[in-house]
Amino acid sequence: MKILITGAHGQLAQTIMHSTQALEHELFFTARTVESNPASDSRYQIGRLDITDADAVLKMMSDNKIDVIINCAGYTNVAKAEIEKAAAFKANAEAVTNLANAAKSNNALLVHISTDYVYDGEAETPYKETDMANPLNEYGRSKLAGDEIVLNSGCRCLIFRVSWLYSPYGNNFFKTILKKSKELPSINVVNDQTGTPTYAPDLVDAVFYAMDSDARGLYNFTNEGQCTWFEFAKEICHQADSKCEVKPCKTEDYPTNVERPKYSVLDKSKFKTTFGKSIPHWKDALVRCLKQTDQKYPSR
């Protein structure tokens, strides 16, 4: 298949770039700006594509006869989205309209990546795809708008709502904790927000597996299990043999302009039933991530 992948400089696209699944297809990695990226795989070049430009998206699709779009692009700075609401909606909703319309016009499949932040965190059991969305912040609202645009567009689609995405690539919680654990004797991490880490290679595996099926629609996907950010950080330091002490704290200890869900565990029953595929536990995935990080950065 010919696959267009947006947001090429982000961690999910970088994960696809280094995946074995990528070798089976013809991939077109694109980004709004083309820049030098040491994480980029030398097998692939990154082309320039502004997905907020509808004509440019259509031209890319038709010129290259694209079969699938995997949308890894988006505005992901949760705090800044409160201030830059228009920018968040432009990237997470308006641009998605262009991708959905282009997919429909070319009978292509659109794979769109969404977030647990579409929920308000008031639940006490894992969220199902049928539960009512009620975002607490502008980032969540912009992502929910994108989901609704895709679902209402009439294009063939797969939407994956994920949480706490991490990998050896890009900027993420895992890499931040790993870096701080080598520089500081102790760190404070919030212990009153519960969710599930999602290892990017496991998400990539799920995406490519689902693409090969006839199933379409909205699915939750994270690793199995649940934890707080504190528990995640503590396990990272433990698995990395770090002497850094991880101390629990409360969200209120770090005043911020953005409200985040206190509970955002996602129910993966629909994914597992539909695709008959098991999902690794987050602790097992973390072990694999650390091994991959050792290979990527041998002197870490």
Query: Residue 21 in 3-state DSSP?
Result: helix
Amino acid at site 119: Y
Distance between CA atoms of 271 and 59, rounded to whole angstroms?
33
Measured between alpha carbons, how far is 252 from 188 in angstroms, rounded to an integer?
13
DSSP string, 238-283: HHTT--PEEEEE-GGGS--SS---SB--B--HHHHHHH-----BHH
- For residues 62 and 2, the answer to whether their CB atoms sit within 8 Å is no
Residues forming the active site = 139
Closest CA to 16 of 35, 34, 33, 29: 29
For 38, what's the count of Cα atoms within 13 Å in the CB-facing half-sphere?
Answer: 4
297 burial type by CB count under 10 A (0-12 exposed, 13-18 middle, 19+ buried): exposed
| Cβ-contact 135, 78 below 8 angstroms | no
Q: Tell me the backbone φ, ψ of residue 276, rounded to 5 degrees.
A: 60, 35
Joined together, the tokens standing for residue 48 give 């320039």
CA distance 211 to 274: 12
Angle at 10 between CA 102 and CA 131, to 5 degrees: 70
Alpha helices in the chain (DSSP H): 11-17, 54-64, 78-81, 85-89, 95-105, 138-153, 173-183, 200-211, 229-239, 269-275, 282-296
